[in-house]
């Protein structure tokens, strides 16, 4: 039986602020000339930089790993272009820079059009907030879905990207696309490639419609892409192995063969030994009724995926359409942290557990507020969770607070530090038309970069980020 531990949210929030304005250097590409078989992309770099949207006092930020984290930085506006909305941002750290990917309305879409095409935008910034690769579209073909949910990972000198699309707004079939870049911003493929989720027999596919993608890079090269088949009669989660050019390797692997559940909202990660971890939302159903949503997870051996671990269910219900997140940058096989939302106790709380070692979970966030859309990252000394919470101090219904809370292992338990207030968002975008939670990457020592989108008008939301220092004392 799953046991529960509750963390008391420290009411005195630590506000991370900044003390100086900073002018971004002119954007440049670094290292792209050495990329093999690189394809030149138009990054549209003229006049692009990062804007400081908030500046006041800040504590000193220490050097982190290979990254010299800039001190005195406030909230960064990642894309100063006028094209909006910008939403569903994700990030990955390559050891010297931070890659950010997000959705933006295509500049070629007719203004005022109801069915505006989307672009997947990528950019790279330094740990001092400088633009290293200016924002540019990585998709060659227009994207015809409202929620492309791009994902990103970096391994060695390769950036791996995946997103959802359709061939046309009217098409019933959803597809997942894949593309790779060098860390210098050059394309390593002529164009994005449709991910084929191979069936168990030659020339067969598991479905003609797959969506809700997530991606993780493998230590031995290539990547895994996970998705959910889009069929109202049956939803199943599969992951597919790809090489660096998007060619499918072997058959797609089902995460669960149970015939009595809808499987949606998958997430995927790997540990240093390439053990695969997958989570998904499982909705059980019987002949006449549907049961509650649960977060399910299990692990696979990349070399023997046909013999996975037993399916573990986080035995607390979760709100519909909420994706759990599995930590990236996993330092060793015993540090696979999972964060999920639960509504078991009357309000949305964040459940955090180490999936590799125990089924105990820790509840984060206060009971009287709504805690939602968690992201989690781990490293050798612990990790951190970032999530949105409705601000109980404000009378404004749409005001949210973005929190970060560090944690570290303490024997068989998880110890947490004081939560850090990253930003106050006067927006309803996170629960409105363009859903998407925050993301977080670890930069070394006590330094993190948190990413989100916000805007008082869903049509004008913008991607922002902030460097944050947090530790467990």
Q: Contact 341/370 with Cβ under 8 angstroms?
A: no
**Under DSSP, is residue 33 helix (H, G, I), strand (E, B) or coil?**
helix
Q: What angle do CA 65, 218, 340 make, to 5 degrees?
A: 80
Cis omega (within 30 of 0) on the bond before 52?
no
Q: What is the pLDDT of residues 328-361, one digit of tens each?
A: 888 888 889 999 998 877 778 999 999 988 878 9
The one-digit pLDDT tens for each residue of the chain (473 residues) are 344 444 433 332 233 333 222 233 233 333 333 333 444 344 333 333 333 333 222 222 223 356 777 666 789 999 988 888 899 999 999 999 999 999 998 876 655 555 678 999 999 999 999 999 999 999 999 899 988 999 999 998 999 999 999 988 888 889 999 999 999 999 999 999 999 999 877 778 889 899 999 999 999 999 999 999 987 678 899 999 999 999 999 999 999 987 777 899 999 999 998 899 999 998 876 545 566 788 999 999 999 998 899 988 887 788 887 889 999 888 888 889 999 998 877 778 999 999 988 878 999 998 778 898 999 999 988 999 999 987 555 555 567 899 999 999 988 889 999 999 999 887 654 444 446 789 999 999 899 999 999 877 777 889 999 999 999 98
- Helical H segments across 85-210, by residue range: none
CATH code, domain carrying 191 = 2.120.10.10
45: DSSP letter: -
> Bridge-partner residues for 338, per DSSP?
326, 353
**355 CB contacts (<8 Å, ≥6 apart)?**
277, 279, 297, 299, 312, 326, 336, 337, 338
Q: Contact 207/235 with Cβ under 8 angstroms?
A: no
Phi-psi region of 244 (alpha: psi -120 to 50; beta: other; left: phi over 0): alpha
Residue 297's alpha-carbon distances to 88, 189, 284, 460, in angstroms, are 23, 32, 15, 36
Supply the pLDDT for residue 26: 30
Locate the DSSP E strands across 50-139: 51-52, 76-77, 86-93, 97-105, 118-126, 131-137
252: DSSP letter: E
Distance, in Å, from the CA atom of 38 to the CA atom of 18, rounded to the nearest integer, reads 39
Q: Count CB-CB contacts under 10 A for residue 413.
A: 11
What's the count of helices (H) and strands (E) in the chain, helices before strands? 0, 32
The string of DSSP codes covering 350-416 is: EEEEETTT-S-EEEES-TTS-EEEEEEEEETTEEEEEEEEE-TT-S-TTEEEEEEEEEEEETTEEEE
Supply the pLDDT for residue 16: 33
Supply the pLDDT for residue 359: 75
Nearest to 455 by CA among 84, 81, 67: 84
Q: Hunting for tokens 């947090």 — which residue is that?
A: 470
Q: Whole-model pTM?
A: 0.85
Q: How many structural domains comprise the chain?
A: 1
**Residue 10 is inside which H or E element, if any?**
none
Q: What angle do CA 208, 211, 212 make, to 5 degrees?
A: 160
Distance, in Å, from the CA atom of 387 to the CA atom of 47, rounded to the nearest integer, reads 32
Q: What is the pLDDT of residues 146-167, one digit of tens each?
A: 889 999 999 989 999 999 999 8
Q: What is the pLDDT of residues 162-197, one digit of tens each?
A: 999 998 888 888 999 999 999 999 999 999 999 999
Distance, in Å, from the CA atom of 224 to the CA atom of 215, rounded to the nearest integer, reads 6
Q: Contact 131/50 with Cβ under 8 angstroms?
A: yes
Q: Hunting for tokens 């359409």 — which residue is that?
A: 321
Q: Contact 215/224 with Cβ under 8 angstroms?
A: yes
In the numeric block, which tokens belong to residue 237? Answer: 């989660």
Supply the pLDDT for residue 284: 72
Supply the pLDDT for residue 428: 54
For residue 305, the enclosing domain spans 4-469
Supply the pLDDT for residue 391: 58
Q: Hunting for tokens 């020592």 — which residue is that?
A: 445
């Amino acid at each position: 039986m799953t046991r529960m531990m509750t963390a008391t949210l420290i009411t005195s929030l630590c506000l991370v602020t900044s003390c100086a304005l900073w002018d971004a250097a002119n954007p440049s590409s670094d290292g792209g000339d050495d990329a093999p078989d690189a394809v030149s992309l138009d990054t549209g770099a003229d006049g692009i930089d990062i804007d400081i949207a908030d500046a006041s006092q800040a504590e000193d930020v220490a050097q982190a790993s290979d990254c010299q984290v800039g001190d005195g930085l406030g909230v960064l506006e990642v894309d100063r272009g006028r094209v909006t909305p910008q939403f569903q941002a994700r990030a990955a750290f390559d050891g010297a820079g931070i890659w950010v990917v997000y959705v933006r309305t295509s500049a070629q879409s007719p203004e005022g059009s109801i069915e505006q095409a989307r672009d997947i935008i990528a950019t790279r910034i330094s740990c001092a907030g400088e633009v290293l690769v200016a924002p540019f579209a990585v998709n060659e073909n227009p994207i015809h879905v409202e929620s492309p949910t791009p994902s990103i990972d970096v391994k060695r000198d390769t950036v791996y990207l995946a997103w959802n699309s359709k061939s046309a707004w009217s098409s019933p079939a959803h597809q997942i696309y894949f593309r790779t870049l060098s860390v210098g911003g050059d394309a390593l493929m002529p164009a994005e490639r449709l991910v084929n989720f191979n069936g168990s027999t030659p020339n067969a596919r598991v479905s003609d419609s797959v969506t809700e993608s997530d991606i993780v890079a493998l230590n031995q090269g290539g990547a895994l892409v996970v998705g959910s088949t889009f069929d109202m009669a049956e939803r199943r989660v599969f992951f597919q192995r790809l090489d660096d050019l998007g060619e499918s390797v072997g058959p797609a692997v089902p995460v669960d063969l149970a015939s009595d559940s809808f499987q949606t909202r998958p997430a995927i990660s790997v540990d240093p030994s390439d053990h695969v971890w997958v989570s998904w939302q499982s909705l059980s159903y019987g002949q006449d009724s549907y049961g509650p949503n649960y977060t399910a997870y299990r692990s696979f051996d990349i070399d023997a995926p046909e013999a996975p671990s037993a399916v573990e269910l986080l035995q607390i219900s979760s709100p519909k359409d909420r994706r759990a997140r599995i930590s990236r940058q996993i330092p060793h096989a015993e540090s696979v942290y999972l964060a999920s939302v639960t509504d078991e106790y009357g309000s949305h709380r964040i459940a955090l557990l180490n999936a590799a070692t125990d089924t105990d979970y820790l509840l984060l966030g206060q009971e009287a507020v709504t805690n939602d859309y968690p992201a989690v990252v781990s490293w050798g000394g612990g990790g951190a969770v970032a999530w949105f919470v409705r601000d109980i101090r404000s009378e404004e219904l749409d005001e949210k607070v973005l929190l970060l809370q560090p944690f570290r292992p303490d024997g068989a338990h998880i110890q947490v530090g004081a939560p850090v207030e990253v930003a106050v968002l006067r927006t309803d975008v996170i629960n409105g038309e363009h859903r998407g939670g925050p993301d977080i990457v670890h930069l070394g020592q006590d330094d993190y970069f948190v990413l989100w989108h916000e805007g008082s008008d869903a049509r004008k939301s913008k991607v922002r980020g902030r460097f944050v220092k947090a530790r467990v004392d």
